[in-house]
Structure 1
Amino acid sequence: MMASKTVFIDGEAGTTGLGIRARLEAVAGITLLHLPERERKSLSARRAAMAAADLVILCLPDAAAREAVALAEGLGASAPRLLDASTAHRVAPGWVYGFPELTGGQARAIAEAPRVANPGCYATGAIALLRPLIAAGLIAPDQPLTINAVSGYSGGGRTMIEAHEAAGGPAFELYALGLEHKHVPEILRYAGLTCRPIFVPSVGHFRQGMLVSIPLFLDELPGRPTGGDLRAALAAHYRGAALITVPEAAGEKVAAETLADSDRMELMVFAHEGHRQAVLVARLDNLGKGASGAAVENARLMLGLPAVAAMEKELGHVR
């Protein structure tokens, strides 16, 4: 019988932390360490919890996450493995990117890494769509792209959640129009792009759910592919993956909330061959595959739980 693994969530009171805690409580073989509310900001209490843990999951703002990493490093030989849900280390040296379906070796790299950075929610959808198509030569790395996305308001933190739930909140808002959104660097690196995309995120008046869409002029792409070519490449890349599917696009509408409370993601290709245009669409839950669900997927790999072997088998087809 496998010994129980101990996990400490540093910052478990936030939206992502609460989601991770709820998911991990349902996973056999994991013991969660909790600090009383009065001790959650105590350096000595946090250091002691880190020293007792096999894995520490950071659910903190970026600056606090960096401080937590330094705190863990100070434990020397007793330092735990780290999984960071913030933006702080997603493109940092020495950190493995926590997207197991990225390539055939990514799940194993996560399983063996001392430090893993959980992906951003928008980045998860964008990279899932783009990486296989760039790897297949159907989109050039230097292709100018626009990425549009809409998220439920639960991804915006406590202030946004309170505004929407207490006072109604706006129906829809574009934001980050300074074109410096924090997810762009990881999209560039892990999608395999060399041309910085224009990323236009937005928030809708619904709690959970997300759509990421990328419009394409097919005649501007290498080899002038069809929509069917794009879908076939995505389907081949994710064949057998447990959490990512590539269904046939149906109809002319896609609802953002369909996968709320799910850890799955759907990738779709909508195309008009007469106009030689296509739209790539990723649908996921911003708190599921886009945050807490992804963190638990990575935690299971890092802790060597039974899902690791199954996931490696599922991902063995990926290039």
Structure 2
Amino acid sequence: MDAITGAQAKHGQTKTAKWVTHFSKNKYLYALLLPGTIYLLIFDYIPLAGLVLAFKDFSPGDSFFGGEWVGLKWFNEFFNSIYFFRLLKNTILLHLYDLLWGFPIPIVFALLLHELRRQYFKRFVQTVSYFPHFISTVIIAGLIVNFLSPTDGIITRLIHALTGSETNLLGDQGWFRTIYVISNVWASFGWNSIIYLAALTAVDVHLYEAADMEGAGRWKKMTSITLPSIMPTIVTLLILNMGKLLSVGYEKIILLYNPGTYETADVISTYVYRRGLLGADYSFGVAVGLFNSVASFLILILINYISKRVNNVSLW
């Protein structure tokens, strides 16, 4: 028995010594990892304790875990709200429209860039397409408001010159989704194409050489070699995007919408902003945010399962 205990102690000491040696050898790598780890702990994991507010009647001035326990009151209030189906419909439609146009355009753009032979022109086009990504959302919204101003907007004047009719596109609820999606695609397609361009560099050039010997043209090579080669990347990103079905951001919408366009522009996140933050109804806001996160997680699992069954590509 003493021999077994001694062997276990020796094994534990050996394992500890290996860990000490490992950390000592890679201490600078772990030092680089430390800031990101601290950021995740402070802004992503510690705030999870605040989820308890979704089940309490919290008021400003109470202690963090203060307030009466109310169970599912705030969830029921949200589900029974007259705005629930409108918010859910607007959130899903905005995301689906954005996905319908915003997802394939970077892929097409990357494929077209990949076919360019003049490297200087290719790099110039890439650089120009990246610029909108670095423009602040506030500035983009300001440009949209100025261009679509009903009095002196450039686009408004052009429409008036062509049709002779006065129009206020930002005040028309039927145009809001179109404006939102077009501005999103313009701002993100170049940046989103980077990952596809990176995937294209991994395509085996011998496949193109074999296709040349068979007399295949550029279109045939694109559809038979290039596109299938990056299909796993496309499917993976599609799964991740579908997981954000209920996570339409509120920043640009708040800057562009108004009470006249709530019917098509108001989404879950903007409603939570108005009631949860501006109205100081924090428990309600946390409850809706928790519902949003759980629903998005379940959607991600479902889409991942379907993708794995259909084409054997999945996140896990």
Interval containing the TM-score (normalised by the shorter chain)? under 0.3
More strand by share: 1
Alignment TM-score, normalising by the size of structure 2: 0.23
Higher Rg of the two aligned structures: 2
Which structure is richer in relative contact order (CA contacts within 8 A, separation 6 or more)? 2
* Bigger helix fraction: 2
